[in-house]
Amino acid sequence: MKSGRLLFLFLMAALMVSCRSATGPQSFAQILDRPDRPKIALVLGGGAARGFAHVGVIRALEQGRIPIDMVVGTSVGSLIGAIYASDLNSFELEWTAFALEKDHLLDYGLMTALTGMGTVKGDKLENFVKARIPVEKIEDLKLPYAAVATDLNRGTRVVLRKGSIARAVRASSAIPGVFQPVEYQDKLLVDGGVVDNIPISVAREMGADIVIAVDIGENVTNFNITNIFDVILQSVYIMFNENTLFRKKDADVLITPALGTVGMFDFTRKKQVMQAGIDATQKALPEIVSTVEKWMRGEGRKR
């Protein structure tokens, strides 16, 4: 009788172990439902047309059931981040991205180049944001959001968390020498990538416990430089890439899509770039899950 009871207890224990093993992914889902779970920030770096990779990253995170509690972006990262923060729908974001062409963003003008401080005014970019996002102010977005710009006069980082979404994105994306600087909030602003192309520290300041950062600046090699515009873009690209070398190490999870030689204004390879974002994020999902689980065990940064 005793041996039968022992056998029964042994079988029940084995069954419980089996159930726990089989429900591993469900236990992670349960963690995400807990009120004390970590706040997860998505930080999107700059890189112009390479930013289509951000769309793929968001889609893969959504498919992997990874929650995004806040978004911080520089340059194109501020654009993609704002569109997502307004709707929280990667499918709609993808449709918007596929419809986006260079002419929707770049309003070149001879007089702008001769009399201004850049060849592109930036009105088109600002109007594009206004047309795609139904709310006007950052405070009305569905997710906490910040766009990072640079104070051209003082050489300091400017974090835009209030006011016009469209103007914040325009300022954050004003590549020096290409876009005219933006007068906003009593400052003259240019692209945030000048000082902080992957603003991980901003996400920490906003209360993020875990930061997933996306670096789209890998591989600055370009042998197709033929005019002054190319020279400016390549120089800026190198600068952006250099200022991320140490900052990106502060991310809890760093996603680096394999974008090869895609140029900053190459809008012809959107599908390829998005897919690179998806692939890189899918590879990173186990690391994200592990990072969250470690944080819940008290092994991560608790703030």
3-state class (DSSP) for residue 3: helix
86 carries an active-site annotation? no
Residue 94: its H or E element: helix 90-99
Among residues 69, 191, 209, 266, the one annotated as catalytic is 191
140 carries an active-site annotation? no
Separation of CA 173 from chain center: 13
Query: What tokens appear for 162 in the block?
Result: 């209030």
CB 76 within 8 A of CB 46: yes
3-state class (DSSP) for residue 249: helix
What's the angle, vertex CA 204, arms to CA 185 and CA 24, rounded to 5? 140
DSSP, res 39: P
CA nearest neighbour of 79 among 168, 179, 199: 168
Tell me the pairing of strands 187-191 and 210-214: unpaired
For 53, what's the count of Cα atoms within 13 Å in the CB-facing half-sphere? 32
Question: Which residues, listed in sequence order, are joined to residue 147 by a DSSP beta bridge?
Answer: 73, 160
Q: How would you label 28-51 residue by residue, b for 16+ Cβ within 10 Å and e otherwise? A: beebeeeeebbbbbbbbbbbbbbb
Torsion of CA 219, 157, 159, 108, to 10 degrees: -60
CB 46 within 8 A of CB 237: no
| Residue linked to tokens 């600002």 | 126
Among residues 69, 75, 172, 201, the one annotated as catalytic is 75
Q: How far apart are CA 37 and CA 66, in angstroms?
A: 12
Question: Would you name the residues annotated as active-site residues?
Answer: 75, 191
